[in-house]
Amino acid sequence: MKRIFTISGFILLCFFFVNTAFAQNSTVKGKVTDAATGEGLVGVSVSIQGTDNGTQTDANGAFTLSVPPKATLLVSYIGYTSQHVAVSNAGPISIKLEASANELQQVVVIGYGTQRKVDNTGSVATVKGADLAKQASTNAVSALEGKVAGVEIINNGQPGSSPTINIRGVGTIYGSGQSLYVVDGVWYDDISFLNSNDIESISILKDASSTAIYGIRAANGVILVTTKRGKTGKPTVNLNSYFGWQAVTNQVKMANATEYATAINELTALNNTPSDYNPPVFANPSSYGTGTNWYNQILRNAPVTNNEISLAGGTDKYTYDYSFGYLDQDGIVKDNNYQRYTFHVANDFKPVKNLKLGFSANILSSNSRDVNGQIFHQLYTAAPVVPVYYNNGKYGDPADYNVGGGANYNPQATIDFYNQHSKNKRFTGSVYGEYNILPDLKFRTSFGGDLAQAEVRNYTPVYFATGGQQSTTSSLNLSHTETRNWIWENTLTYDKTIGKNKITALLGYGSQRNEGTYMNAFADSVAYAKSGNLHTSFPAGTNVTYTQPTANQILTTEVSQFGRINYSYDDRYLLNASIRHDGASEFYPNVYAWLPAVGAGWVITNESFMKGQHIFDNLKLRASYGMVGNAIVPISPTTLTVTNDPTLYTAIFGNPQTTNAGASINTVVPPTITWEKSEATDFGIEGSILNHKLSFEADYYNRLTKNAIFNIPIPGSTGENGPNGGILGNQADIRNRGFEFTVTWKQQISNDISYSISPNLGINNNEVTKVLSGNNPIYSGGAGIANGALATRTVQGQPIGEFYGYKVLGIFQTAEQVAKSPQAATAKPGDFIYQDTNGDGQISSTDRVNLGNPNAKYGYGVNMFLKVKNFDFTVDLQGRADVSVFNSNLGYRFGNENITQDFYDNRWHGAGTSNTYPSMNIGSTLNSAPNSFYVSSGSYFRVRNAQFGYTLPSELTRRWSIQSIRFFANAQNAINIFGYKGFSPEIGGGVLNEGIDSNVYPLYATYNFGVNVTF
């Protein structure tokens, strides 16, 4: 791995110091703005007419270019009418670009190329990198939240974590269900290695006709990421920097020490029997006062800083773009920290006519001091009667307060003695070559890869903190993961216009190899020397025991042939057809599959009968159908394997008899597995009215995943030990269908005032339409449920992972009421009254019902922009509706854990005190079973981002030889409105465990101040 970074560093240095010659001409400066809104346009091409020399505008629309005498500038930008501007000596040039008479002429990025929006028959959404960089998100995917209809982002608050993204619902059960990311032509599972400032644009391919060209991995949507590349012109240096802090929002208020002591005494009394009387745990609850607020003790306002500097420029033969970024982010838990270094390098060369070569590389190095995975459960349940420290400096010990095993921990000791560090190094990138064989025929070859190394070191010293937090033997655990992936693709593109006919044909061939290895080693009685030594190797003389988990190596290969034809007649009638033939080793022996797609469009406003109308500026109808695949499955799932583990199996034979290591066949495999495929249709309309001020887009989609792969549970008595305790196979069909709407209004009120507003709405319905085993459900979701039950099920006719349990009708008030109920044998006053659904006079598992859907039906966002002279103001709103969450924290109890202030205030503590909240005995086997009490609405509304900026006048910055300086203040997630009684209803968990709140690292608000400087 060291060689990887040595070589990549050498390449970076070599190209960074390439001498670039520029003509010594006069210098012209100017600014390009949107004529309608007055907003500066970033990335506008400004070139000298008749040459390849030029530059691009910066984030504020400003540019600087060296020009010869009497030059004429060609100013062009996607979606706008190009202008020819004569250069004079009258000072800075102000250029206002008008939106193209036909907005559909703008170019969008699609699979293996670009296409005019007018020619596109699929559903593709594009977000500019400049819009992503405005947010304080440390991961670019998080910044997409609320910006694109039909795209759901679920964030995790832990520093360095990657969000989950769902495009048009969840269509698979096995695996993560993550979308495919394609960065500069290379396939990835995430883009955590990218700095947002290095991204030029992101295109989200939502319908199957757009994604089918990526067949094998496109079942959950495709996200195309184009990173920044150099442009011809003088070197441009950009500095982007911000600092700020992160603060907990909507912190859950817990019971104080007096309230806790009172509640625990009630619990003790409830569990007393005449033959087994236990005195109150706390003789005088009021003597404990407010006690310890563990959230305030362990959580903090965490600083964060992010800095990025870039250099870009080039000539007509050579362009370059280099950047370096540094992020230092503290977690809201004390001692939690994440540091990330990113490097981005991109070079393009034109050594001879018709030939273009180039490469791009991204380097990531990160270090983190991790947090104990149980810390948030401990903060929720730790006893407030226990002090952080005693007066003698020792840790407060729960054992001294007889709180029992359920809350036998001091969270301060947990973080003080938790020593885990993670290191990640990653090198990603690609090289390419393009050759124009003929004016209309181009060949392109590209090779890309992903080399990654992750190390985790966990050390436990010899220590004594409390009765339940101690270790008499030190231990050291090291894990090492390596990834080596490569992809090689070759395409031949024919692009020809004949009269009114435009044809673009693509043929391609690709191959991939993905390899991953994992190794773990453990040692005990390790003396702590210094952190660096522990991280790299075991000290000499330690007793090292190496362990190699069963699935410690993964190797998959894929090969593909694909083709696509785009046809347009007179910009009115559109046709798109593609086919992909994929082979995947995961499906051996059923290796190959065909994945076709077709789309059609009609640009109505280009018809002759529409020329006289004055309503629509643009109006287009489109429809598409396609098929995509999902290759995220176990390796060779139909191969029967033998488990050889001497700790589990032994064999005695021979004469004399001896004990030998044994083996067993303990898996059940299906005879065959076929491809999991998704078939999808999409119908859309897009257009604009009122002189392009109001644009709109609407889609209806219907996506059916066929032969979804997951496990059917089988009895443990069979000895089966397969994935998740079941037989893996093609078991179900899953449907996602819904609507998407996006409307954008932009207007310039005066030369100094302009604004825009763009709301979007996605509506999705998820349903399992067929299960091979009939009504045999998949149960999951056991996190934080004290009695061992499962809270979710997936069954025919219902959504994936629906919450499932008992419906609560009220609370038993008296013993007489209990005696007359179906729960007479198990309940007591203060317990939940469950609905006898089947009316058989008893409460059993057959009485459970659907309690809620963790898959949001509605997702929406509103993105607003206002500019007044040099001031700019951006607000992004976002939310979800008609979705449920399961708060398992409430019943995650095994003894005398703490409770929330809300539960204390509303608990049942005697007849007539409550008919909605149970008694303190909520952690009992019966009351902690999944039921409707734990299910709440997960709907929320959030001010996702608000930013106020001010750009210094150009007349002032020119004196300092600076193109522009912009200062800004930003607030992210500052306002959150919801009814859920937890930190946040934005809860992930995976496909079958979505929405279960148990020990989740909560989200937070980020407040920061920064500056953007362009030299």
pLDDT digit string, tens, across residues 487-527: 999 999 999 999 999 999 999 999 999 999 888 888 887 77
899: three-class secondary structure by DSSP: coil
Query: Would you say residue 304 lies in a domain?
Result: no
Outline where DSSP puts E strands in 835-927. Answer: 849-852, 858-868, 871-881, 884-887
91 and 136 belong to one structural domain: no
Query: Would you say residue 204 lies in a domain?
Result: yes
151 and 216 belong to one structural domain: yes
**Angstrom distance (rounded) from CA 301 to CA 251:** 13
To 10 degrees, the CA torsion angle through 388, 390, 395, 400? -100
Of 44, 69, 97, the last residue of a domain is 97
Averaged over 337-349, what is the pLDDT?
Answer: 96
Q: How many residues does the chain have?
A: 1015
For position 117, what pLDDT does the model report? 75
**Angstrom distance (rounded) from CA 925 to CA 908:** 18
CATH number of 83's domain:
2.60.40.1120
Tell me the pLDDT band of 755, cut-offs 50, 70 and 90: very high
pLDDT digit string, tens, across residues 127-173: 988 888 888 788 888 989 999 999 999 888 888 888 889 999 988 87
- Residue 193: phi, psi to the nearest 5? -85, -5
* Number of alpha carbons in the 13 Å side-chain half-sphere of residue 493: 19
Tell me the pLDDT band of 629, cut-offs 50, 70 and 90: confident
- Residue 527: phi, psi to the nearest 5? -75, 140
Are residues 997 and 888 in contact, defined by beta-carbon separation less than 8 angstroms?
Answer: yes
**Angstrom distance (rounded) from CA 717 to CA 134:** 57
The DSSP secondary-structure symbol of 609 reads G
Residue 218 in this model has a pLDDT that exceeds 50:
yes
For position 76, what pLDDT does the model report? 81
Residue 658 in this model has a pLDDT that exceeds 80:
no
118 and 140 belong to one structural domain: yes
Lowest mean pLDDT among 455-469, 711-725, 799-813: 711-725
Q: Which residue has the tokens 């999991």?
A: 676
Tell me the pLDDT band of 909, cut-offs 50, 70 and 90: very high
For position 638, what pLDDT does the model report? 60
For position 206, what pLDDT does the model report? 92
**Does 700 or 189 have the greater pLDDT score?**
700
CA-based radius of gyration for the chain? 31
- Amino acid making up residue 498: I
DSSP 646-683: TTT-EEEETTTTEEEE-EE------S----EEEEEEEE
For position 316, what pLDDT does the model report? 84
108 and 201 belong to one structural domain: yes
**Angstrom distance (rounded) from CA 279 to CA 457:** 46
Outline where DSSP puts E strands in 318-462. Answer: 318-330, 337-349, 355-369, 419-438, 441-460
For residue 341, the cross-strand partners are 326, 365
- What is the spatial order of strands in the sheet that 996-997 belongs to? 935-937, 884-887, 996-997
114 and 227 belong to one structural domain: yes
* Number of alpha carbons in the 13 Å side-chain half-sphere of residue 832: 23
Tell me the pLDDT band of 47, cut-offs 50, 70 and 90: confident
Residue 61 in this model has a pLDDT that exceeds 90:
no
225 and 107 belong to one structural domain: yes
Averaged over 303-330, what is the pLDDT?
Answer: 94
For position 39, what pLDDT does the model report? 74
90 and 110 belong to one structural domain: no
Tell me the pLDDT band of 714, cut-offs 50, 70 and 90: low
214 and 170 belong to one structural domain: yes
CATH number of 200's domain:
2.170.130.10
DSSP run (H or E) holding 150: none
Query: Would you say residue 496 lies in a domain?
Result: no
Computed from CA positions of residues 61, 62, 68, 71, in that sequence, does the dihedral angle turn out positive or negative? positive
pLDDT digit string, tens, across residues 931-957: 999 999 999 999 999 999 999 998 898
**Does 598 or 30 have the greater pLDDT score?**
598
Environment class of 455 (CB within 10 Å of its CB; exposed 0-12, middle 13-18, buried 19+):
middle
pLDDT digit string, tens, across residues 559-616: 999 999 999 999 899 999 999 999 988 877 778 899 999 999 999 999 999 988 889 9
Averaged over 60-83, what is the pLDDT?
Answer: 80
For position 171, what pLDDT does the model report? 83
DSSP 48-60: ETTSS-EEE--TT
107 and 73 belong to one structural domain: no
Averaged over 4-23, what is the pLDDT?
Answer: 39
For position 633, what pLDDT does the model report? 67
For position 538, what pLDDT does the model report? 58
Show the tokens assigned to 489. Answer: 């693709």
Residue 665 in this model has a pLDDT that exceeds 80:
no
Lowest mean pLDDT among 105-109, 804-808, 845-849: 105-109
For position 21, what pLDDT does the model report? 34
The DSSP secondary-structure symbol of 135 reads S
Tell me the pLDDT band of 988, cut-offs 50, 70 and 90: confident
**Angstrom distance (rounded) from CA 301 to CA 248:** 7
For position 13, what pLDDT does the model report? 40
Lowest mean pLDDT among 301-315, 667-681, 760-774, 823-837: 667-681
926: three-class secondary structure by DSSP: coil
Tell me the pLDDT band of 671, cut-offs 50, 70 and 90: low
What percentage of residues in the chain have a pLDDT greater than 70?
A: 87
Of 213, 231, 249, the last residue of a domain is 231
Of 62, 97, 132, the last residue of a domain is 97
**Closest alpha carbon to 992 in 703, 752, 778, 767:** 778
Lowest mean pLDDT among 176-180, 229-233, 296-300: 176-180
For position 520, what pLDDT does the model report? 83
For position 6, what pLDDT does the model report? 43
Average pLDDT of the chain, as a whole number = 86
Residue 721 in this model has a pLDDT that exceeds 60:
no
**Angstrom distance (rounded) from CA 378 to CA 254:** 12
Are residues 601 and 574 in contact, defined by beta-carbon separation less than 8 angstroms?
Answer: yes
Domain count, the chain: 2
143: three-class secondary structure by DSSP: helix
Query: Would you say residue 636 lies in a domain?
Result: no
Tell me the pLDDT band of 63, cut-offs 50, 70 and 90: confident
**Angstrom distance (rounded) from CA 458 to CA 472:** 16
35 and 118 belong to one structural domain: no
For position 157, what pLDDT does the model report? 82
Residue 12 in this model has a pLDDT that exceeds 60:
no
Show the tokens assigned to 511. Answer: 């191959």
Query: Would you say residue 650 lies in a domain?
Result: no
413: three-class secondary structure by DSSP: helix
Residue 18 in this model has a pLDDT that exceeds 60:
no
Environment class of 656 (CB within 10 Å of its CB; exposed 0-12, middle 13-18, buried 19+):
exposed
Query: Would you say residue 170 lies in a domain?
Result: yes
For position 59, what pLDDT does the model report? 66
| List of residues 6+ apart from 647 with CB closer than 8 A | none
The three-state DSSP-derived secondary structure of 256-282 is: CHHHHHHHHHHHHHHCCECCECCCCCC
- Domain extent for 71: 26-97
Q: Rounded to whole angstroms, what are the CA distances from 236 to 232, 405, 874?
A: 10, 62, 26
Number of other residues whose CB lies within 10 A of the CB of residue 907: 22
Computed from CA positions of residues 652, 653, 658, 664, in that sequence, does the dihedral angle turn out positive or negative? negative
- Residue 901: phi, psi to the nearest 5? -60, -40
Averaged over 458-466, what is the pLDDT?
Answer: 93
**Does 1009 or 731 have the greater pLDDT score?**
1009
The DSSP secondary-structure symbol of 375 reads H
Averaged over 245-266, what is the pLDDT?
Answer: 95
Q: Which residue has the tokens 């005995």?
A: 921
Residue 799 in this model has a pLDDT that exceeds 70:
yes
pLDDT digit string, tens, across residues 96-115: 887 654 455 567 788 888 87
Tell me the pLDDT band of 537, cut-offs 50, 70 and 90: low
**Angstrom distance (rounded) from CA 502 to CA 977:** 51
For position 725, what pLDDT does the model report? 54
Query: Would you say residue 751 lies in a domain?
Result: no
Query: Would you say residue 85 lies in a domain?
Result: yes
**Angstrom distance (rounded) from CA 944 to CA 1009:** 16
**Angstrom distance (rounded) from CA 732 to CA 774:** 9
The DSSP secondary-structure symbol of 615 reads S
**Does 743 or 660 have the greater pLDDT score?**
743
Lowest mean pLDDT among 117-126, 159-168, 169-178: 169-178
209 and 180 belong to one structural domain: yes
67 and 168 belong to one structural domain: no
